[in-house]
Amino acid sequence: PTIYCITPTYSRYVQKAELTRISQTLKLVPNVHWIVIEDAMEKTDLVRNLISESKLITTHLVAQTAPFEKLKDSNPRIKRHRGVEQRNAALKWLRENLVLGRDKGVVYFMDDDNTYSIKLFDEIAKVRKVGVWPVGLVGGLNAEAPIVDAKTGKVTGYKSGWLPNRPFAIDMAGFAINLDLVLEKVEATFSYEMAKGMQESEFLSFFTTKDQLEPLADRCTKVYVWHTRTEKPKITGNITGLEV
Ligand code: UGA
Ligand code: MN
């Protein structure tokens, strides 16, 4: 099965560095299709060239975050949704270009700034319906993880620093979904209407229930992905003609 990795990305100083890291991780993974969606008016040469030089199987899309959502940037108290339109554009692409029954795969939301072990992709390849695993360095904890019952092997709850009582208290990096389900449930999308921090939980609710989750990464005892965030560099000068 193909692993469809969906990566929203936006222009900033560290963008090329982030995408270089992600693309070179994916070079080590068999059977990947990388879907990169730029949060921009038009596709940029920087991203176009980077993904073409990667020689990965890629799809390059563009979908701009609504201006009203971006505006919240200036107000630090209102955290805005990120990646909503971009992930929806990728879901739309999957539903328009792939065929239920013909194309087999797993869908994974792979943000451009996280750090991914190649071991994670062996776990993603095992997903039958919806697989889950721990995510390191997130929500104020060393890791967030589904709680797995030792006897039944089922997920009974979540260790999470942020609303652990959500139906699915799982970061975007902590789950993957079988392509069949994504193609079947055409109504499953992300939305600005969802409460802050509820995108993952609401999206997963379209597909599954807690007791159906498949705990991977050694019954959720291993961390193979980290919610790293890159410090914004303080740049005081630009050398013209150098693409960074
Ligand atoms: C957390 C979650 O891990 C994200 O998956 C979730 O989208 C996000 O919260 C959220 O607020 O909804 P966080 O590190 O805060 O992650 O978010 P970012 O890494 O800044 O953004 C997530 C993705 O959206 C990244 O791939 C980023 O490149 C992209 N993004 C971010 C845009 O496309 N446009 C933006 O203006 C900002
Ligand atoms: Mn991030």
Query: ∠161-177-12 over CA atoms, to 5°?
Result: 65
- Confidence at residue 77, expressed as pLDDT on a 0 to 100 scale: 55
Q: Report which of 174, 157, 177, 153 is spatially closest to residue 166, judged by C-alpha positions.
A: 157
User: For the packed helices 45-54 and 15-26, what is the interaxial angle rounded to 10 degrees?
Assistant: 20
Per DSSP, the chain holds a count of helices (H) and strands (E) of 8, 12
- Which atom of ligand 1 has the smallest separation from the CA of 18? 28
Q: Which ligand is nearest to the CA of 112?
A: 1
The residues of the chain scoring below 50 in pLDDT are: none
Q: Pick the residue whose CA is nearest to atom 7 on ligand 1.
A: 82
- Give 126-164 pLDDT, tens digit per residue: 999 999 999 999 999 999 999 999 999 999 999 999 899
- Confidence at residue 212, expressed as pLDDT on a 0 to 100 scale: 98
- Confidence at residue 80, expressed as pLDDT on a 0 to 100 scale: 81
0.95 exceeded by the pTM? Answer: yes
Task: Set out the domains of the chain in order of their start, with CATH numbers.
Answer: 2-132+172-218 (3.90.550.10)
- Confidence at residue 67, expressed as pLDDT on a 0 to 100 scale: 81
Q: Ligand 1: which of 82, 137, 198 to mutate, most ligand atoms within 8 Å of CB? A: 82
Q: How many CB atoms lie within 10 A of CB 42?
A: 7
- Confidence at residue 73, expressed as pLDDT on a 0 to 100 scale: 65
The set of protein residues with a Cβ atom below 6 angstroms from ligand 1 is 7-10, 39, 65, 81-83, 86, 111-113, 171-172, 199, 227, 229
Q: Pick the residue whose CA is nearest to atom 31 on ligand 1.
A: 82
- Confidence at residue 76, expressed as pLDDT on a 0 to 100 scale: 66
Q: Which residues touch 103 (CB under 8 Å, ≥6 apart)?
A: 2, 179, 183
Q: Pick the residue whose CA is nearest to atom 6 on ligand 1.
A: 82
